[in-house]
Structure 1
Amino acid sequence: MKTLFNNYINTFRGLSREVWWLALITLINRAGTMVLPFMSLYLTKSLDFSLNDVGWIMSAFGLGSVVGSWLGGKLTDKIGYYKVMVFSLLATGILFIALQYLTTFVSFCIGIFVVMVVADTFRPAMFVALSAYSKPENKTRSVTLIRLAINLGFSAGPAVGGIIITTISYGGLFWVDGITCIVASIVLLQVLNPKTARTLDDVKNENPKSAYSDKAFWIFLAAMALFGVVFLQYFSTMPLYYKDVHQLTELEIGLLMGLNGFLIFVFEMPLIKWLENTRYTKSGLMFFGAVLTGISIIILNMTSWVGILIFGMVFMTLGEMIAFPFSNAFAMQRAKRGNQGEYMALYTISFSVAHIFGHNAGLQMVDKIGFENTWYIITLLAIVCMLLLFILKQYMRVRNDTQ
């Protein structure tokens, strides 16, 4: 047992102090994102919106994310990642607290759009900062550490969120989310000031290649957008499926979704460390992650047994653990060819596009054709994602690209 524990600890060695601080800031920030898993429930149960209304609100959420990601990339290339991250965290905290006071359909659409524009300027800046604070050989594990922080927050967040809802109200979620964003901005100001933070991989490209002309990157982005559509069902349609079909309570839903974060916290870093030492390429590993995520959806139609929900969550978690770290690492390595902010903005936009169409399409399909047919269609999208990743793998192989 001691040897196993030491081996686990060794997977974290070699990461810079700045990466650890960035992970802590991310943990503080994400610990308050308990609003998101319960957003569809909040809108339908507390504000009495229809599924159609919720779908359009989630599209406004995604559209704001697209604009915010694009703006964050531009600002990062112009004024630097530090200023962008500080502004985003502080302003997002204030806006999240204000969001709970919007109760009409139109005002909530506008409100969630503005919140996401500000919030998602953080993402490209954070990825560029992560790349700068990591040695080239540690980038995938650095990404994994950030994901561990995110998922540790998500592990506690939904469970605590369920308790807050049942004991206080949905409004308490917005206060917690806002306050944690503000606290994260204060910590960032203290520990990652450019005067004291140590840069390990500062890329200066005198003749940057435009991300818009990188064909392999566009295939990758299309695959990630589809992967995002499949993955995001777990944060919009899936909570409704748990409640309406399997009659789970909010607390049970929170605990089941918390299982995802717990598994990632325990197993992802050792898994990534092991996969890094294998002969598999990043594109091949992303393909395998998409396969597992697709399986997590289709098995829900195989039985009405409530225990299948746990198996679905485990398969999704395994797929996520493999696909996300290596897609992040793929994008960061590719970004060295040009303006890093531009590359990382497009990477984050691919998931923002998934937010625009994924939540809305899933909710609209559930409303019109039911959960079972929706899961079949989502599985088909996962298969298309796998096909694109296979094409990417072949494209890279022909060009002797080791990614």
Structure 2
Amino acid sequence: MLQRAFNKYIDNFRGFSREIWILTLITFINRAGTMVLPFLSKYLREDLDFSYNQVKWILISFGLGSIVGSWLGGKLSDKIGFYKIMIFSLMTSGIAFFGLQFVTSFEGLLVAMFFIMVVADMFRPAMFVSLGAYAKPENRTRALTLVRLAINLGFAAGPALGGLLIMTVGYKGLFWVDGATCILAILIFWIKVKEKKKSKYTDKEHPGEILTNSVFKDRPFWIFLGATLITGILFFQLFTTIPLYHKEQFNLSELQTGLLLTLNGVLIFFLEMPIVSYIERHKINKLKVITLGCLAMAISMYLLLVNQWAGILIIMMLFMTFGEMFVFPFSNSFAISRAPKGHEGRYMAIFTMSYSTAHILSAEAGMDMIRLFSYQNNWFFMGTLGIIGVLLFIWTMKLVKYEPPRNI
């Protein structure tokens, strides 16, 4: 019985090309090595003695760099190819992380964090385009899911290793490891994966016309993007307001909050790939799945209005996790499916920019709601925002219904 269940689980991971497995490996190495990010605010506050306001502005600079980097990475992926952008991004950001430890002034860090994130986040849209190039169309969503698993595992391992490094060699160790893992990951990619040339279907004579007709006049994509932004804002509450709420409302320790986040990671690790495979096999409408996921996220926010029973935090995490598993893999897949040949980079740039923007808005809106009103008002606001997202996804579904079929 157990053997059969295990074999069925392993079957979900079959059928990927060698390049996809290497992309998954380097994503894991890169994300596990991204140890500076979870400890950045603590480093700025405790090690460099910055005020809360200074920390806020450095984090905003970080977010703005991420937005610019996402846009630039996508645009350049279409111009000169995703392969060169991936190598440039990880190699340069790796070297930059080595140097970041020596920048200790407020003004210096504002500029340094912006430029590092511009270079580092050029990688994301380029990596999404590479998945489109190296994965078979029927495997694309599962390939995206596989990379998401690597990201989740990397994020789970990174903070723990980062905490150990801080305890043993101090914050400086984080910068060395972060830089080294960026360089190691991209060296593996460069040695093991050969560049895949642009599609022969790219219109070399009128690329601008294709782009104008697709991106700027692609109404369903922009409505979808608005809803995607909302799902990002709800999801990032897990890392902004919710840990504070755990402490202030229920007096949970850091360990208990960490265990709730671990529950999220474990469920994704074991369930996301089988769920995606099931939906792919049965050809279930992907936009319906995304809409259901957004509804689950909205419900998870409303559940937090129950503030006298700590068990609600587990139920809330279950709804959020299933929402995440329904929304994120298929959102990636839908976004790249809208792009004409040769313009995938720009589509994925705009798509990844929506999450960078959500990261900033989630912290700003959530913290302001709590400061000006209360936690309860914030959960009601976020839940209602989620319902608006559901309506936007339904609208997208109606518009797409009358289009020629696409491979999503």
User: Does TM-score exceed 0.5, indicating one fold?
Assistant: yes
Deviates more, 1:174-183 or 1:323-332: 174-183
Task: Give the Cα–Cα distance (whole angstroms) in 2 for the partners of residues 301 and 167 of structure 1.
Answer: 41
Instruction: Tell me what 2:266 maps to.
Output: 262
CA shift for structure 1 position 173: 3.8
Task: Give the Cα–Cα distance (whole angstroms) in 2 for the partners of residues 173 and 248 of structure 1.
Answer: 27
Task: Give the Cα–Cα distance (whole angstroms) in 1 for the partners of residues 262 and 28 of structure 2.
Answer: 15
Provide, for residues 78-128 of structure 1, a one-character-per-residue CA deviation record: whole Å limited to 9, x for no partner: 221111111111222233344445455444333322221011100111111
Residues 162, 232 of structure 1: alpha-carbon distance in 2 compared, 3 angstrom cutoff: same
Provide, for residues 8-36 of structure 1, a one-character-per-residue CA deviation record: whole Å limited to 9, x for no partner: 11111111110000000000001123443
Instruction: Tell me what 1:141 maps to.
Output: 142
Task: Give the Cα–Cα distance (whole angstroms) in 2 for the partners of residues 30 and 346 of structure 1.
Answer: 22
Query: Are the counterparts in 2 of residues 55 and 361 from structure 1 also a CA contact under 8 Å?
Result: no
Query: Are the counterparts in 2 of residues 63 and 355 from structure 1 also a CA contact under 8 Å?
Result: no
Residues 50, 370 of structure 1: alpha-carbon distance in 2 compared, 3 angstrom cutoff: farther
Task: Give the Cα–Cα distance (whole angstroms) in 2 for the partners of residues 153 and 394 of structure 1.
Answer: 37
Instruction: Tell me what 1:390 maps to.
Output: 394
User: Residue 373 of structure 2: SS of its match in structure 1?
Assistant: helix
Indicate which of 372, 379, 383 corresponds to 2:383.
Answer: 379
For residues 8-19 of structure 1, the aligned pairs below 5 Å read: 8-19=9-20
**Amino acid in structure 2 at the alignment position of 1:158:** P
Instruction: Tell me what 2:315 maps to.
Output: 311
Query: Are the counterparts in 2 of residues 155 and 262 from structure 1 also a CA contact under 8 Å?
Result: no
Q: TM-score, normalised by structure 1?
A: 0.89
Instruction: Tell me what 2:86 maps to.
Output: 85
CA shift for structure 1 position 392: 0.4
Q: TM-score, normalised by structure 2?
A: 0.88
Residues 242, 171 of structure 1: alpha-carbon distance in 2 compared, 3 angstrom cutoff: farther
Instruction: Tell me what 1:205 maps to.
Output: 202
Instruction: Tell me what 2:26 maps to.
Output: 25
Indicate which of 302, 325, 329 corresponds to 2:329.
Answer: 325
**Amino acid in structure 2 at the alignment position of 1:257:** L
Instruction: Tell me what 1:216 maps to.
Output: 220
Task: Give the Cα–Cα distance (whole angstroms) in 2 for the partners of residues 253 and 173 of structure 1.
Answer: 23
CA shift for structure 1 position 221: 1.2
Provide, for residues 260-303 of structure 1, a one-character-per-residue CA deviation record: whole Å limited to 9, x for no partner: 22221111110100111235322111111111122222222212
**Structure 1, gaps ≥5 residues long:** none
Residues 17, 178 of structure 1: alpha-carbon distance in 2 compared, 3 angstrom cutoff: same
CA shift for structure 1 position 50: 5.5
Query: Are the counterparts in 1 of residues 201 and 341 from structure 2 also a CA contact under 8 Å?
Result: no
**Structure 2, gaps ≥5 residues long:** none
Deviates more, 1:83-92 or 1:329-338: 329-338
Q: In the comparison of the two structures, how many residue pairs are matched?
A: 399
Instruction: Tell me what 1:231 maps to.
Output: 235
User: Residue 304 of structure 2: SS of its match in structure 1?
Assistant: helix
Deviates more, 1:312-321 or 1:331-340: 331-340
Residues 13, 87 of structure 1: alpha-carbon distance in 2 compared, 3 angstrom cutoff: same
Residues 114, 369 of structure 1: alpha-carbon distance in 2 compared, 3 angstrom cutoff: farther
Instruction: Tell me what 2:350 maps to.
Output: 346
Task: Give the Cα–Cα distance (whole angstroms) in 2 for the partners of residues 246 and 282 of structure 1.
Answer: 37
Task: Give the Cα–Cα distance (whole angstroms) in 2 for the partners of residues 320 and 39 of structure 1.
Answer: 25
Residues 264, 326 of structure 1: alpha-carbon distance in 2 compared, 3 angstrom cutoff: same
Provide, for residues 43-81 of structure 1, a one-character-per-residue CA deviation record: whole Å limited to 9, x for no partner: 555556565554443332221111101111121112211
Instruction: Tell me what 1:300 maps to.
Output: 304
Instruction: Tell me what 1:66 maps to.
Output: 67
